[in-house]
């Protein structure tokens, strides 16, 4: 009698844990869909005129970014206090080289939620 009672409690616990994890994953998926969709208030639209092509971190709170703003490619120096335009890229071969090595911003894990 006690063995079946423990087995029942274990099965119930595993089932409830599975339900909680499924609800959490569903909420994560809905959150990602809302935030990245066109209707999301903070989401980035696919037709945005601003695209970060590459970012290199130089030190704590210091980075160098290459940004495409409405077809114009800018090299920006970014610190905690300021953002400075270092250069504007005009050469087509340099632009193609940069776009070829565009950084991938996806993080490992939960890749099936990034659609």
pLDDT in tens, 15-55: 999 999 999 999 998 888 877 655 555 545 556 788 888 88
Q: How many CB atoms lie within 10 A of CB 73?
A: 19
**Radius of gyration (Cα) for the chain, nearest Å?**
23
Q: How many CB atoms lie within 10 A of CB 111?
A: 9
Do 31 and 4 share a domain, yes or no?
yes
Whether 110 is in a domain gets the answer no
Whether 111 is in a domain gets the answer no
Do 54 and 34 share a domain, yes or no?
no
**Structure tokens given for 62:** 């210091």
pLDDT at 114: 53
In tens, the pLDDT along 90-112 reads 777 676 777 676 544 444 555 55
pLDDT at 25: 95
**Structure tokens given for 37:** 């969709």
pLDDT at 109: 54
DSSP H helical ranges for the chain: 2-36, 92-100
pLDDT at 69: 85
Instruction: Tell me if 26 sits within 8 A of 18, measured CB to CB.
Output: no
Q: Which residue has the tokens 């890749």?
A: 111
Range of the domain at 86: 50-104
In tens, the pLDDT along 45-92 reads 556 788 888 888 888 989 998 888 887 888 899 999 999 999 888 777
pLDDT at 49: 81
Whether 72 is in a domain gets the answer yes
Sheet strands side by side (includes 83-89): 50-59, 62-69, 72-78, 83-89
For the chain, what is the domain count? 2
Do 37 and 66 share a domain, yes or no?
no
The strand pairing partners of 83, in sequence order, are 78
């Amino acid at each position: 009698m006690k063995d079946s009672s423990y087995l029942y409690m274990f099965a119930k616990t595993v089932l409830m844990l599975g339900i909680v994890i499924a609800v959490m994953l569903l909420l994560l998926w809905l959150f990602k869909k809302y935030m990245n969709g066109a209707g999301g208030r903070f989401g980035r639209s696919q037709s945005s005129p601003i695209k970060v092509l590459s970012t290199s971190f130089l030190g704590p709170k210091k980075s160098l970014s290459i940004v495409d703003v409405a077809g114009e490619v800018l090299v920006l120096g970014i610190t905690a206090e300021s953002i400075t335009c270092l250069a504007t890229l005009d050469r087509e071969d340099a632009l193609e080289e940069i776009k070829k090595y565009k950084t991938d911003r996806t993080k490992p894990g939960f890749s099936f939620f990034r659609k």
